[in-house]
Chain A
Amino acid sequence: MKKSEYLNEVLETHKMSKIQTLVDKYKRKRIEIEGAIEEHYGSDIYNVFISGSFAKHTATNIKFDMDVVVPFKKNSFSTLQEMIDDVHDFLYEKYDKRNLAKVIKQKVSVGITFNKDEDGDQIQIDVVPGREVNLYEYRETNDLNLYFNEDHWGFKKGTWTKTNIRAQIENIEGKKSERDIIRLLKIWKKRLNKDYKSFMIELFVIKAFEKYTGCNDLWSRLKHAMQYIADNVTNENFSLIDPGNSNNNVLSSLDAYKKQSLSSEMQNIISNVEHDENWLRTYFPTNEKYKKTEKEKGFGLDVVSYPPTAKRFG
C-alpha cells in the first residue's frame, strides 16, 4: 500500500483547492466573460457553458484549462470563420483595446490572457465558439461545428469538424475513480513535459476501466491503466472514439512512432516502479509547494534519505 499512499499524496498536493483563491479569480472572470457574451450576442446563442479540465474535474493545480463554450445558432453567421472572427473582434474590443488583456485567435478558440493582478496572478481563459449543425437542433443534439483557425489534430486551417462538447463532459461524469488516474497521468505528462493529448489519455483511462475487476488501490488502478495503454496503443485494430463525434478516432492523430513511444513509456514506468518504488517520485512527483511537513502527514513511503547534495556530474 505504500505506493498507493504516496500516489494519494501526489493527488492531494495537486488539488485545485490548494489554489482556491486563484480558482475563485478564474470563476469571477469566467462569469464576467459569459455575461458580456450573452449580452452581446443575445438570442443568437444558446446557454454558454464551461468545458476543459475545470468542467471535467480533471484539473491539477499545475495545469488546468478553463474553456468557455459559446453555442451559436445556425443562422447567426453565414460562415464559421465569420463566427470566430466576430467573437475575436468583440473580445478584442472589450479587453485588448482597453489594455486589460491580450486577445488572440487560437486553434479553435479565442484566447484571453488577462494582465497580471496585484498578486501576480494571470488568468487565461479560452472562448470556444461553435455553431449548431442544423437550425434549432442544438438543444436536442448538443452537436456543434468548430472552426479550425490553424492546422490542428490533422485538420487544416479553414476546415471544421463536428463535435459534442457536452457529450465529452458527460462521458467522464460520475467517474471519480477514473478521474484520479487521469489526473495522475496528467501530472506525469506535465512534470516530464510529454506532449500527448490529455483528451486521449482521458479516453484511454475510461476505456481501461470499463471491465476492470482488479484491486481498488491507487497503484493497482494506475498500473492497470498504464498496462492497458501499453498493450493497446500500438494495436492497429484498437480505437478511441471521441464521444463528441463517432467518426473521430482520437488515436488516429498519433503516428506509429509516437504510439510505440507511449507504449514503451508506460511499460518502463511499470517495470521501474516495480523494481524500485522510488521511481514513483520521479514519474509522479508531489507538488512540493503544497506538501505537508513530515510531522503533519503521518503517512507515505519510508522516509527517503535524500542525499544532501543530489549532484550530478559531467
Chain B
Amino acid sequence: MIDIYDIEKFLNEMECISRATVVTSGDSRCISIEITLPDLKAPLSFDVDFDPWYPAKACGEESIHFRNISLIEYPHIMEQGRLCLHTISSPDWQEKLTSDMGQLCEWIQNYYIDKKKDVHFEHLVVKESLINGCYHSFNYARTTTSFKIGECGYVSYNSLMDGVKNGKIIKNYIVANYYSRKNINHTPIHTSEFSDFYCSTDGCAISPYIVIDSIPGNQGKFIFENYLEFESIISQEQKKHIYESSRLLKCDLFPLFIGYKIPSGEFAWNAAVIDKNELPTVGYPECINGHKTGIWLSRFVDQPIKWVMTNDISPDFFFGRGCFPTKITGKRILIMGIGAIGSMVAHTLVRGGCRDISLYDFDIKQPGNVCRSEYDFFCPTNDKKNDLSFALRRISPYVNIDSYKNEFDAYVKIASRSNSELKESIATDFRENYDLIIDCTTDDDVMYALEQLDLSIDIVNISISNHAKELVCAFSPSIYGFVRGVYKDVIKNDSNDIFYPTGCWNPTFKASYNDIGAKLQFAIKRMIKMLSGDDLKQNFIITEDANGVHFQPC
C-alpha cells in the first residue's frame, strides 16, 4: 500500500496544486487538495480518496475518487459529488497520479471553467430496488410510431430467463407493444421493432404506461426518488390511469412505465414498481370556491419510488458496438445448408444485425455436430432448422426466422429442370422473398439448380476442403463451373484422412471449430464488403500457411 503521506508530498510538489493535506478519519485515506489553474478565479477544492490498492483498479472500479458535493450540478459529477473519471492504468503510482490529476484539471477546464455541455445524453442514474428479494430488468426498444406527451395506456411485456445479479435473482422482461387505455384487446398503437417471437401476445403481462413532458431527474442525472417530485409532472388523467390500473390488474405488484423525450427525439423509459395495496396516490374531492364539484382528483403521497432497471436495447444500442452495413442487415437472407459453415454464417449474420433469415436443411443435429458448429448439446438430437432457429432467437430479439420444409430440396431441383410454370413460379417466389441466398449445402445439385433458376438475386456459395485447408467462396452467376473446377483441379483434397461417424453414414471431413471459424470469419468479412459494394464482387479462396491466412481472388 502506498503511504498516504508520500502521496501528499508528491501532490504538494505538483504545479496545479496549491495545497494538499491528509485528512485522517478512521481507515479513510483521504487528501484534501486545492487546484489552481490560470483561468480559475479561486482555488477549487476536492477531497481525494485513495483505495488501498491504488494505483491498481479492482472489479473495473477506479481506486482514486475526487469529491466535491458543491459541484453536483456539473456534468460527470455523480452521487456524493464524485467525479466520474476513466483513468489510465499504470503500475507506477507517481505516473498514474500525474495522469489522474491531469484528467481532473482537464475536467475543470472543460466543464467548470468553459461550461461545456455534452451532446451525448446520459440516461438517468437509477437506484434499483429489490422487489420480493429480486432485481427486475425491463428491456425496451424504440417503436415504429412516436408517442404523444400526456399519453397513457397499457404496455405488454414478456418474461425472459431469470439471471443472477449481485447474488440475487434478476427477473428479465422484454417490452413488446403499447395499447390504448380504452381498447386493450385491440391492435397495438405503438409496436416495438422486436421480432414476432418476442412480441407474441401469448402469455404476456400488461401494465400501465404514461408519457410525461420532461426528464424526471435532478441535475439531469439522478432520477426522482419520491412520488411527490412527480406531482406537477404527471397529469390528473395519468394519475387516474394509475389508479384504474391498480383495480384492473390482478397481481399486487405491477410496474408503471414512465416515458419521456430525450434530446435525440427518442423516448426513454423508466419503470417503478407499485404495490396496489400501498398506492402512491390518494383521492380527494375537487373543490371550486369551497364547493365540492363531485369529481375526485388524485395526488401523490410522500412515498419513495421503487425503481427497477430498464434497458434501451433499440437497434442503435443493441448492435451499436458492431454491426454489418445496412445494405446487409436489410437483406432478406436464405441460408441453405446449416451444418458447420451454415450455422456459423447464420450466427454471424444475426449478431451483425440481420433481421430476416430463412433456413433450409433436411438434416438432424446430432451430438457429434456440436464440437465444430454453432449447435449446443442441450437438446442432443433435434431438427437442425428448429435448433438453429431457437439459438438465433436467443441471440437477437430482432431476427425473424423462417424455415422451409424438407421437401424444398426436391422441389427446387425439379423446378430447375423444368420448362414449365413451376420453374418460373419458384423463381418468382425466390425473387419476391429473398435478396440473398447463401448456399452452404455443398450439394452440387442444389448449386446447379439455383444457377438454372436464373434468379437475378445474389447467391453466395461457401464450402471448405478437408481439414478446412481451403475455403471456397463463389458468387452468382459464376458458381457452378467455378466451384466444381476448383475442387476437381486445384484443391488437393485429402480424401484418406476423413472421419467415420458411428452408424451407416457418409464419412465426413475433419476440422475443428477453430479451423473452420478462423477462415470462415475472414471469408464472411470479405463477402460482406463485396455484397455491400465496398469491394469488387469476385470469387475467392481462403488458404492458410505458416505466415497466416490468405485471400486469393479468382
Please tell me if B129 contacts chain A, counting CB pairs below 8 Å. Answer: no
Instruction: Please determine whether B463 and A283 come into contact, CB atoms closer than 8 angstroms.
Output: no
Say which residue of B339, B440, B493, B552 sits within 8 Å of A310 (CB atoms).
B493
Instruction: Please determine whether A312 and B538 come into contact, CB atoms closer than 8 angstroms.
Output: no
Say which residue of A193, A282, A283 sits within 8 Å of B477 (CB atoms).
A193
Distance in angstroms between the alpha carbons of A279 and B554 in the assembled complex = 9
Instruction: Please determine whether A272 and B552 come into contact, CB atoms closer than 8 angstroms.
Output: yes
Instruction: Please determine whether B493 and A307 come into contact, CB atoms closer than 8 angstroms.
Output: yes
Distance in angstroms between the alpha carbons of A106 and B489 in the assembled complex = 38
Distance in angstroms between the alpha carbons of A268 and B337 in the assembled complex = 29
Chain A positions within 8 Å of B486 at CB level: 282
Please tell me if B478 contacts chain A, counting CB pairs below 8 Å. Answer: yes
Please tell me if B145 contacts chain A, counting CB pairs below 8 Å. Answer: no
For residues 209 through 239 of chain A, which have their beta carbon under 8 Å from a beta carbon of chain B? Answer: none
Distance in angstroms between the alpha carbons of A285 and B492 in the assembled complex = 17
Instruction: Please determine whether A193 and B481 come into contact, CB atoms closer than 8 angstroms.
Output: yes
Residue in chain B with minimal CB distance to A281: B489
Instruction: Please determine whether A304 and B489 come into contact, CB atoms closer than 8 angstroms.
Output: yes
Please tell me if B308 contacts chain A, counting CB pairs below 8 Å. Answer: no
Chain A positions within 8 Å of B416 at CB level: none
Closest chain-B Cβ to A274's Cβ sits at a distance in Å of: 13
Closest chain-B Cβ to A184's Cβ sits at a distance in Å of: 15
Please tell me if A36 contacts chain B, counting CB pairs below 8 Å. Answer: no
Residue in chain A with minimal CB distance to B540: A268
Chain B positions within 8 Å of A257 at CB level: 536
Chain A positions within 8 Å of B492 at CB level: 307
Closest chain-B Cβ to A304's Cβ sits at a distance in Å of: 7
Tally chain A residues at the interface, Cβ within 8 Å.
29
Q: Given A279-B490, A307-B493 in contact, is the A312-B472 Cβ separation under 8 Å?
A: yes
Please tell me if A119 contacts chain B, counting CB pairs below 8 Å. Answer: no
Q: Given A312-B464, A312-B465 in contact, is the A193-B478 Cβ separation under 8 Å?
A: yes
Chain B positions within 8 Å of A312 at CB level: 442, 463-465, 472, 483, 487, 493
Say which residue of A261, A268, A279, A309 sits within 8 Å of B495 (CB atoms).
A309
Instruction: Please determine whether A261 and B478 come into contact, CB atoms closer than 8 angstroms.
Output: no
Query: What string of 1s and 0s marks CB contacts (under 8 Å) between A290-314 and chain B?
Result: 0000000000000010111111111
Instruction: Please determine whether B465 and A313 come into contact, CB atoms closer than 8 angstroms.
Output: yes
Distance in angstroms between the alpha carbons of A194 and B483 in the assembled complex = 14
Instruction: Please determine whether B477 and A313 come into contact, CB atoms closer than 8 angstroms.
Output: no
Residue in chain A with minimal CB distance to B486: A282
Distance in angstroms between the alpha carbons of A83 and B108 in the assembled complex = 86
Say which residue of B462, B481, B488, B553 sits within 8 Å of A314 (CB atoms).
B462
Chain A positions within 8 Å of B537 at CB level: 261
Closest chain-A Cβ to B482's Cβ sits at a distance in Å of: 5
Query: What string of 1s and 0s marks CB contacts (under 8 Å) between B530-547 and chain A?
Result: 000000111000000000
Query: What string of 1s and 0s marks CB contacts (under 8 Å) between B453-473 and chain A?
Result: 000000000111110000010
Which one of B339, B482, B554 has the greatest number of beta carbons of chain A within 10 Å? B554
Instruction: Please determine whether A260 and B478 come into contact, CB atoms closer than 8 angstroms.
Output: no
Instruction: Please determine whether A265 and B464 come into contact, CB atoms closer than 8 angstroms.
Output: no
Query: What string of 1s and 0s marks CB contacts (under 8 Å) between B495-520 and chain A?
Result: 10000000000001101000000000
Distance in angstroms between the alpha carbons of A310 and B463 in the assembled complex = 12
Say which residue of A191, A265, A306 sits within 8 Å of B488 (CB atoms).
A306
Residue in chain B with minimal CB distance to A189: B478
Query: What string of 1s and 0s marks CB contacts (under 8 Å) between B56-94 and chain A?
Result: 000000000000000000000000000000000000000
Distance in angstroms between the alpha carbons of A108 and B153 in the assembled complex = 65
Residue in chain A with minimal CB distance to B541: A272
Please tell me if B341 contacts chain A, counting CB pairs below 8 Å. Answer: yes
Distance in angstroms between the alpha carbons of A314 and B519 in the assembled complex = 12
Closest chain-A Cβ to B47's Cβ sits at a distance in Å of: 63
Distance in angstroms between the alpha carbons of A304 and B491 in the assembled complex = 11
Residue in chain B with minimal CB distance to A267: B553
Q: Given A278-B490, A314-B342 in contact, is the A193-B479 Cβ separation under 8 Å?
A: yes
Residue in chain A with minimal CB distance to B439: A314
Instruction: Please determine whether B489 and A278 come into contact, CB atoms closer than 8 angstroms.
Output: yes
Chain B positions within 8 Å of A311 at CB level: 442, 466, 487, 493, 495, 509
Please tell me if A276 contacts chain B, counting CB pairs below 8 Å. Answer: yes
Instruction: Please determine whether A282 and B495 come into contact, CB atoms closer than 8 angstroms.
Output: no
For residues 233 through 285 of chain A, which have their beta carbon under 8 Å from a beta carbon of chain B? Answer: 257, 260-261, 264-265, 268, 272, 276, 278-279, 281-283, 285
Instruction: Please determine whether B464 and A283 come into contact, CB atoms closer than 8 angstroms.
Output: no
For residues 114 through 128 of chain A, which have their beta carbon under 8 Å from a beta carbon of chain B? Answer: none
Closest chain-B Cβ to A165's Cβ sits at a distance in Å of: 28
Distance in angstroms between the alpha carbons of A310 and B487 in the assembled complex = 6
Closest chain-A Cβ to B542's Cβ sits at a distance in Å of: 13
Instruction: Please determine whether B495 and A308 come into contact, CB atoms closer than 8 angstroms.
Output: yes
Say which residue of A194, A279, A306, A310 sits within 8 Å of B478 (CB atoms).
A194
Closest chain-B Cβ to A301's Cβ sits at a distance in Å of: 10
Say which residue of B463, B490, B554 sits within 8 Å of A268 (CB atoms).
B554
Q: Given A192-B478, A312-B442, A313-B464 in contact, is the A264-B337 Cβ separation under 8 Å?
A: no
Distance in angstroms between the alpha carbons of A47 and B58 in the assembled complex = 94
Which one of A257, A265, A313 has the greatest number of beta carbons of chain B within 10 Å? A313
Please tell me if B35 contacts chain A, counting CB pairs below 8 Å. Answer: no
Distance in angstroms between the alpha carbons of A223 and B440 in the assembled complex = 34
Residue in chain A with minimal CB distance to B508: A313
Distance in angstroms between the alpha carbons of A124 and B454 in the assembled complex = 20
Instruction: Please determine whether A268 and B538 come into contact, CB atoms closer than 8 angstroms.
Output: yes
Closest chain-A Cβ to B349's Cβ sits at a distance in Å of: 16
Closest chain-A Cβ to B543's Cβ sits at a distance in Å of: 11
Shortest beta-carbon contacts, A-B, top 5? A282-B485, A281-B489, A312-B463, A313-B509, A314-B341
- Would you list 12 pairs from A and B whose C-beta atoms are within 8 A, ordered by A residue? A193-B478, A193-B480, A260-B536, A261-B536, A272-B552, A279-B554, A304-B489, A310-B488, A310-B493, A311-B466, A312-B472, A312-B483
Q: A-contacting residues of B (Cβ < 8 Å)?
A: 337, 339-342, 440-442, 451, 462-466, 472, 477-483, 485-495, 508-509, 511, 536-538, 552-554
Other than the given A264-B538, A309-B495, A314-B337, 9 more pairs (CB < 8 A) read: A192-B482, A281-B489, A282-B486, A307-B493, A311-B442, A311-B487, A311-B495, A313-B466, A314-B339
Q: B-contacting residues of A (Cβ < 8 Å)?
A: 191-195, 257, 260-261, 264-265, 268, 272, 276, 278-279, 281-283, 285, 304, 306-314
